[in-house]
Amino acid sequence: MTDSAEPDTSSTATSAGITAERARVQRRTLTVVVISQVLGGAGLAAGVTVGALLVQDVLGSTSLAGVAAALLTLGSALTAFLVGRVTQRLGRRIGLGIGFVAGGVGALGVVLAATTAQVPLLFLSLFVYGAGTATNLQARYAGTDLATPARRGTAISVAMVSTTLGAVAGPNLVEPLGRLATGWGLPALAGPFLLAAVAYLAAGTAFLLLLRPDPFLLARRLDAELAKLDAVSEESTTGQDQSTAGPRPCPGVGAYVGAAVMVVTQIAMVAVMTMTPVHMRAHHHGLGEVGLVIGIHIAAMYLPSLVTGVLVDRIGRTPMAIAAGVTLLLAGVTGALAPADSLGLLILALALLGLGWNFGLIAGTTLVVDHTVPANRARTQGTLDVLIALAGAGAGVMSGVVMAGVGYEALSIAGGVLALLLIPVLLWARRVTPRG
């Protein structure tokens, strides 16, 4: 006869097994994410560094240089939507793998368009190339699928810091890649896109072949199993059926606040970053100096991530989001006050710009993950990244118009002031959702 007071050790053992499996697969997932993000970082650097310059050369107009960023981000928006939907149904492996492959195809199209001076093909290819940018950002979510809530910020940071190696190397290879391209009879500015094509295709292959088991699908299954165990345990304790209990199926306020943080920081960052190469070339800085400034900017976007993720986990999502707004304001003021021939101050401004974006993206992403559940998480993440991409597209288009009208200095200040407006929103949201 069994003693009814004896604890249910089978449920405990099963829960422990689920926890162990989650930890084991999480380690493998982060390894694959690191590999793909190193490659993906090299791919995205091409468009950031020379995209606006390439459009400027083909069209012969500074005011339309921002079209490059707009097309990249519009392509990114569509891809974010599609990757989110595909991931919700088929998992991270398929969604991210296809996204990176599309980005590689787009990069090859940019090379062909630059060589043949075909403007429609250039625009279409930049649009498709934007798929790589969206996928590179979406990959940060793969690190969170199996992470515990207390480690989500850190998991995001591992994915982002891995981008640093490729993203910093890319801009600093602009001149040698340009020489390689001209040696092959291609325009110099097409060189970085050759690297992007190889990098994105390799990143997509890494996801498709190595991301097994799929972390999103596994997390959804394990969460369902834990919910059943909790229901059985609760029923055995209270005698009531809890099988229908579960997390709220729709995103909470915190998810939308996280989206707002990411959208605003994206606008501020893209607007200033896009026009910095144009501003520098207009004041006789060479491609090597442009590559240095953008390389340091991208390093500041990703390299601090390991520290940022720990801070987001330890001191909170909201304080770090506020820090993003303040840092972006400092970046805008520095950029506005920097003499055009001062390489050092331009480096400082762009480094602060990247750091503020880093704070905002990790804090905002963690808020989104905190306030969604597997039943809607990938779909919601994709939808919110659409908003981020569209915000970047608008910023890219308007940055050229604003710079042509009132100058780089006014553009820098406007980006910083916009980011500072996040603070009252965040303070309000903290009262509504103390968890943030």
User: Which CATH number does 15-220+245-432 carry?
Assistant: 1.20.1250.20
- Mean pLDDT is lowest, of 35-49, 159-173, 186-200, 333-347, for 159-173
Residue 237 and residue 354 in contact, taking contact as beta carbons nearer than 8 Å: no
Residue 222 and residue 21 in contact, taking contact as beta carbons nearer than 8 Å: yes
Does the N-terminal peptide bond of residue 213 adopt cis geometry, omega within 30 degrees of 0?
yes
Q: Average pLDDT of 166-173?
A: 71
pLDDT at 238: 54
410-421 pLDDT, tens digit per residue, is 888 998 999 988
Residue 335 and residue 412 in contact, taking contact as beta carbons nearer than 8 Å: yes
Per residue, the 3-state secondary structure of 2-65, as one string, reads CCCCCCCHHHHHHHHHHHHHHHHHHHHHHHHHHHHHHHHHHHHHHHHHHHHHHHHHHHCCCCCC
Q: Which sign, positive or negative, has the C-alpha torsion 46, 47, 53, 54?
A: positive
pTM of structure: 0.75
In this predicted structure, the answer to whether residue 322 has a pLDDT above a threshold of 90 is yes
Mean pLDDT of the chain: 83
Angle at 204 between CA 354 and CA 366, to 5 degrees: 45
> Which has more pLDDT, 388 or 211?
211
pLDDT at 243: 40
**Which structure tokens are listed for 216?**
């999103």
Q: Which of 332, 328, 393 is nearest to 361 (CA)?
A: 328
Q: Average pLDDT of 222-245?
A: 62
In this predicted structure, the answer to whether residue 182 has a pLDDT above a threshold of 90 is no
Percent of the chain with pLDDT over 70: 87
Give per-residue burial for 314-340: e unless 16+ CB within 10 Å, then b. eebbbbbbbbbbbbbbbbbbbbbebee
* DSSP3 helix / strand / coil % (the chain, rounded to 5): 85, 0, 15
**Which structure tokens are listed for 88?**
């919700």
pLDDT at 158: 87
pLDDT at 51: 78
pLDDT at 233: 62
In this predicted structure, the answer to whether residue 397 has a pLDDT above a threshold of 80 is no
Which range has highest mean pLDDT (65-69, 263-267, 422-426)?
Answer: 263-267
In this predicted structure, the answer to whether residue 308 has a pLDDT above a threshold of 90 is yes
122-156 pLDDT, tens digit per residue, is 889 999 999 998 898 888 889 899 988 888 998 98
DSSP state of 240: S
Length of the chain: 436
- Mean pLDDT is lowest, of 8-12, 86-90, 398-402, for 8-12
- Mean pLDDT is lowest, of 67-76, 206-215, 309-318, for 67-76
**Residue 8's pLDDT band (boundaries 50, 70, 90)?**
very low
How far apart (Å, rounded) are the C-alpha atoms in residues 346 and 334? 8
> Which has more pLDDT, 281 or 26?
26
pLDDT at 242: 42
Q: Average pLDDT of 267-281?
A: 85
Residue 173 three-state SS? coil
> Which has more pLDDT, 181 or 48?
181
What is the separation, in whole angstroms, between the first and last Cα of the chain?
A: 50
| Torsion region of 139: left, alpha or beta (phi above 0 gives left; psi -120 to 50 gives alpha) | alpha
**Residue 61's pLDDT band (boundaries 50, 70, 90)?**
low
How far apart (Å, rounded) are the C-alpha atoms in residues 92 and 138? 9
Question: If you write DSSP's letter for every residue of 324-352 in order, what string do you get?
Answer: HHHHHHHHHHHHHHS-TT-HHHHHHHHHH
In this predicted structure, the answer to whether residue 157 has a pLDDT above a threshold of 80 is yes
pLDDT at 66: 65
In this predicted structure, the answer to whether residue 2 has a pLDDT above a threshold of 50 is no
> Which has more pLDDT, 245 or 273?
273
How far apart (Å, rounded) are the C-alpha atoms in residues 269 and 271? 6
Q: Average pLDDT of 360-372?
A: 91
**Residue 367's pLDDT band (boundaries 50, 70, 90)?**
very high
Q: Average pLDDT of 179-190?
A: 86
In this predicted structure, the answer to whether residue 263 has a pLDDT above a threshold of 70 is yes
